[in-house]
Amino acid sequence: MISLVKIFLCLLLTTESTGFISSFCNRIVKTKLSANLDEREYKYKKEYYKFLNEYDLLKINKNLLLSGSENTSIYDKVIKDRLEKYFIFESNYEKILKFNNNSNSFKLGLNQFADSYDIFQENNLMKEEIKKNNLLKIYLKQIIKNPNYYIDKYNNISSELIWNNTYISEVKDQGNCGSCWAFSTTGALEAMMRINNFNVNRLSEQELVDCSNENNGCNGGLMHLAFDYCIKNNGLVSENDYNYNASDGICKINCNKTDISNIKKVNGSNIINYKFTIPRSVIDLKASLKKGPVCIALDASPFEFRFYKEGVIDIPSSNTSSINHAVLLTGYKEYENGTYWIIQNSWGKKWGELGFAKIKITNGDGILLSQLYGVYPYL
């Protein structure tokens, strides 16, 4: 009450008073404002500092890095230089803490998106979403064309199946580009090649981004259209010959103006066909995995997926759910509450469980709409 009276008197007297009274009032107001700003803006300053340090985002002298002791001046400098990003970090961090305090089947954690991700900045998701209504027509044509394929396919489905690191590539990072469809495509191709005893390091996602004209580069695409490109163009070149830069560019293949116009395609990447999985069919997805990892698409919009850390994702779909992200389905495994899918994402190894996630298997569309679109290549 006393402090409120002082501030009120200051507001009355400031316009007419000078000297001591004016100085006294200014000190009170500044102290009050500073305290509020420190309490609000710097609530998680140590956590933010450690996050910036871990992801090598600090813009100050490395000799000043945190060594277990308080250093408010460094905290303040870092936060003031990145004030807008700090607010995003604070909001995301509090949501993560709140989620983890509840009893859930999985946990969230900070990752590279902590001070950049909000609902208006989904820059690495596909802007060209996959339309659910268009998928069923594709699958029906496939089933009618070769029904015997599906009769044989469903024999000997095991209770668990996991493709390990002998066959799948290391986790990659697509960066700030909606090219997940290209990474899902190359992931499936690389695994298929190893299963069939071809040597492969890494195929070029950038070739697909730049040259697969039926797709939309960093704005999104479809994995079966990427496979169409591979069929028409005798496969893909290697990442070493056409490296990834997370941006749209002019196609360098069959272009006389580039040094790689005549680079040979990687042997074994020249697939002859591909198959779709049947929408909403758990059995068909499991059966498809017998051939190798499967390209699937899902809804990556939920906050819980963006900051997934560990455990089995089990969240309901919302009315705004849409298919906007591609991943690689690498297997499935039983656990105490049922069975979960294992996916490999293309957001680097610091996302999720070293770049992987578990999604509970349910009937129908699947958690995160993960059981609607699937496609896999074969030689």
- Neighbouring residues of 77: CB distance < 8 A, sequence distance ≥ 6: 60
Closest CA to 330 of 223, 135, 187: 187
Q: Residue 213: what are its φ and ψ, rounded to 5°?
A: -70, -20
Under a CB-based contact definition with an 8 Å cutoff, are residues 224 and 254 in contact?
no
Of the residues 224, 230, 324, 325, only one is catalytic, namely 325
Rounded (to 5) percent helix, strand, coil in the chain: 40, 15, 45
The per-residue b/e assignment along 171-194, b for 16 or more CB within 10 angstroms, e otherwise, is: bbbbbebbbbbbbbbbbbbbbbbb
Q: Is 180 a catalytic residue?
A: yes
CA angle 102, 366, 129 (to 5 degrees): 105
d(CA 378, CA 302): 33
Q: Residue 377 in contact with residue 226, Cβ under 8 Å?
A: no
Distance of CA 289 to the CA centre of its chain: 22
Q: Is 251 a catalytic residue?
A: no
Contact 188, 294 (CB under 8 A): yes
Write the DSSP symbol of residue 323: B
Kind of pairing between the strands at 308-313 and 294-298: unpaired
Report the Cα–Cα distance between both ends of the chain, in Å, rounded: 80
Give the containing element (helix H, strand E) for 147.
Answer: helix 147-153
Catalytic residue flag (residue 345): yes
Cα–Cα distance for residue pair 362/367, rounded to 1 Å: 7
Residues in the chain: 379
If we measure between CA atoms, which residue out of 240, 356, 344 comes closest to residue 296?
A: 344
Identity of residue 138 = I
Among residues 180, 211, 230, 295, the one annotated as catalytic is 180
Biggest distance spanned by C-alpha atoms of the chain: 96
Beta strand 325-335 pairing with 294-298: antiparallel
Q: How far apart are CA 234 and CA 249, in angstroms?
A: 21
Q: Out of 92, 124, 215, 345, pick the active-site residue.
A: 345
Active site residues: 180, 325, 345
